[in-house]
Structure 1
Amino acid sequence: MIKMKLYITPGSPYARMARMMVIEKGLQSRVSEQLAQTRVPDSPYYETNPSGRVPYLICEDGLGLEESIAICDYLDSLDGAPLLARPAPQQALAVARLDARAGSLLDGLAVWLRELLRPSDERSQTIIRHEQARAQRLLNAWETDITHPWMSGPFNHAQLRMLCALAFALKIRGFDWTPDRPALSRWFEAMRQRPSFTATEPPSK
């Protein structure tokens, strides 16, 4: 059988979501992780994925899939027994709101860290201040939202995205989101025990 190829970078929270799903679904024998070289000129990876983003999955039939949730949903569908919970129709709007808010947190954190990793003379302090403030607002909102039943029920998209976002936030030097957010901290400590999460811990620098 031809193995699927999952292109990743070790520190990407987006790639981590897909990597976690591989483990959650027991697909390690069917998916081979490939390190992608991103954000450099003329990377060979761009021949595989023109956007240069991760994660990127080459399916067994050769089709390429981009974007974390699309990849997670595909992996989840392969055995006909989906793991990720789907909301009932009457819950759909509330759940979509939570998923979008988790995505907003993760996307903003990614912009913030990307800016911090630039050479000091190329950083935009305006962007850094904006994303730091956005993160604080969203984390404050999540201190309440994390108590929604959807966030403590069967594993789902919002939980997966939020778990990876909170872990990623801790990688930002000097930024500790845990003080004064006890509900969020308790949720994170419980969720981070998932074997798929511990197995995909990025290397420390």
Structure 2
Amino acid sequence: MMKMRLLGSPTSPYVRKVRVLIHEAGLEGDMVFDRIAPRDRDNDLREHNPLGRVPAFVVGEGPGLFESSLICDWICQELPAASSFLPRQRRWAVLTTQALADGLLEAGLLMRHESLRPDHEQSPDWIARQLERVCDGVDGLSRNMAWSQGEPDLGQIAVACALGWLGFRFPDVGWMTEGSDLAGWYRAFAMRQSMVSTAPDLS
């Protein structure tokens, strides 16, 4: 198999999603993970993603793929070992779950970025709007957990990576309450070797 290369930060939940998928498919030995700082211009990230965002994914020569959803789609479509993570008969349901997980993660990241600005520059309304999106996303995952049934798929991986980041950065959102079906599912999924081996040091 042609060597694959993933460029990204180990603290990025989007990068982690790709890494978990690769690990679950048993392909980690075929991929090199280049740990980079996206703001550092002394690397070749912008050759593969002119926007300078991670992850970027390179197979062979030429420009790479970027954005985690596109990368994961390519992996599931092009690598037979990963095809079961995006089964044809459930393709749209799995991709919809991934979109929901990525959307609530995006809102959480926007909320965090705003909270890191100086107090006098922050917009409480903006933070509240993003928090509402996060809570609505978590509620959507909790109300109908059909996505969590069966063997791991790309949707479940996306949810686990999003919740893992959210639980660390915003524990007050409260989805990890005792007895919650969503929390129970996450705790079990987080014990998988793919999650343990890709857990970032977010301290």
Q: TM-score, normalised by structure 1?
A: 0.83
Match of 2:104 in 1: 105
Alignment of 1:156-171 (within 5 A): 156-171=153-168
Match of 1:155 in 2: 152
Gap regions ≥5 residues in structure 2: none
Secondary structure of the corresponding residue to residue 10 of structure 1 = coil
Match of 2:13 in 1: 13
Distance 2:136 2:48 in 1: 38
Secondary structure of the corresponding residue to residue 50 of structure 2 = coil
Distance 2:91 2:57 in 1: 28
1:125 aligns with 2:124: yes
Distance 2:76 2:124 in 1: 40
Match of 1:62 in 2: 62
Match of 2:85 in 1: 84
Match of 2:32 in 1: 32
Q: Which amino acid aligns with 2:98?
A: D
Q: Which amino acid aligns with 1:83?
A: S
RMSD: 2.6
- The Cα offsets for residues 23-72 of structure 1, whole Å up to 9 and x where unpaired, read as 122223321111222246x5543344211111101112334011112222
Alpha-carbon contact 2:21-2:157 (below 8 Å) kept: no
Match of 2:53 in 1: 53
Alpha-carbon contact 1:69-1:157 (below 8 Å) kept: no
- The Cα offsets for residues 78-112 of structure 1, whole Å up to 9 and x where unpaired, read as 54242314252xx6665554333223212211212
Task: Pick closer, same or farther for the CA change 1:92–1:23 going to 2, 3 Å.
Answer: closer
CA-CA distance at 1:134 after TM superposition: 1.5
CA-CA distance at 1:179 after TM superposition: 2.4
Match of 1:172 in 2: 169
Secondary structure of the corresponding residue to residue 160 of structure 1 = helix
Task: Pick closer, same or farther for the CA change 1:180–1:104 going to 2, 3 Å.
Answer: farther
Distance 2:42 2:73 in 1: 28
Task: Pick closer, same or farther for the CA change 1:50–1:191 going to 2, 3 Å.
Answer: same
Q: Which amino acid aligns with 2:99?
A: A
Match of 1:198 in 2: 196
Secondary structure of the corresponding residue to residue 109 of structure 1 = helix
What is the identity percentage for the equivalent residue pairs of Structure 1 and Structure 2? Answer: 29
Distance 1:153 1:67 in 2: 26
Alpha-carbon contact 1:87-1:95 (below 8 Å) kept: no
Task: Pick closer, same or farther for the CA change 1:184–1:75 going to 2, 3 Å.
Answer: same
Match of 2:140 in 1: 141
Distance 1:95 1:4 in 2: 24
Task: Pick closer, same or farther for the CA change 1:30–1:63 going to 2, 3 Å.
Answer: farther
